Structure 1
């Protein structure tokens, strides 16, 4: 298992208690290996990922989409995921 690429993404976590609701943003990293893509809480086999795409929204980043056999998973990105997407597509050609 060797690392091919990685991409930083953000997760907004909502905390609710009896008096307030608080939103915090956590920075996380997605890793592309030769057999899987790993996020904080999920693993996707490379064979199950059909495509990766992204769309910029405004000036603060956009959304990275993992299109899988089990649905589409969106991830908030603050920087361009172009290198990550290209690495995936190049690697996918070799399979």
Structure 2
């Protein structure tokens, strides 16, 4: 099994243009998982501070990936299958114990 893995997540940014029209921009980032921890565009968690990773699938595709940490639960909107990411997390978590 890989010692590193990543998954793409989406954030929606709302902007007001010159004509005061609201626009929604979809931004894609990667959630990186390694022996050191999990790193997103805005947060970084040491592996021992991440208690669990879970997901909720939507019937129309995609879903939400949840990181359960000592700082709370963080959610990430995803479009791809999260199972390889979750299985890698569990494998790394067992190795770090």
Structures share fold, TM-score greater than 0.5: yes
CA distance in 1, matches of 2:42, 2:71: 16
Secondary structure (helix, strand or coil) at the match of 1:84 reads helix
Secondary structure (helix, strand or coil) at the match of 2:77 reads strand
Q: Give the number of equivalent residue pairs.
A: 93
Stretches of structure 2 lacking an aligned partner (at least 5 in a row): none
Partner of 2:14: 14
Greater than 3 Å deviation, 4+ residue runs? none
More strand as a share of residues: 1
Deviations 1:35-86 (A, max 9, x none): 1111111111111100000010122300000000010000000011110000
Partner of 2:90: 89
Deviation at 1:25, TM superposition (A): 0.6
Stretches of structure 1 lacking an aligned partner (at least 5 in a row): none
TM-score by length of 2: 0.89
Deviation at 1:23, TM superposition (A): 0.6
Alignment of 1:13-92 (within 5 A): 13-17=13-17, 19-92=20-93
TM-score by length of 1: 0.91
CA distance in 2, matches of 1:16, 1:74: 25
CA distance in 1, matches of 2:59, 2:27: 20
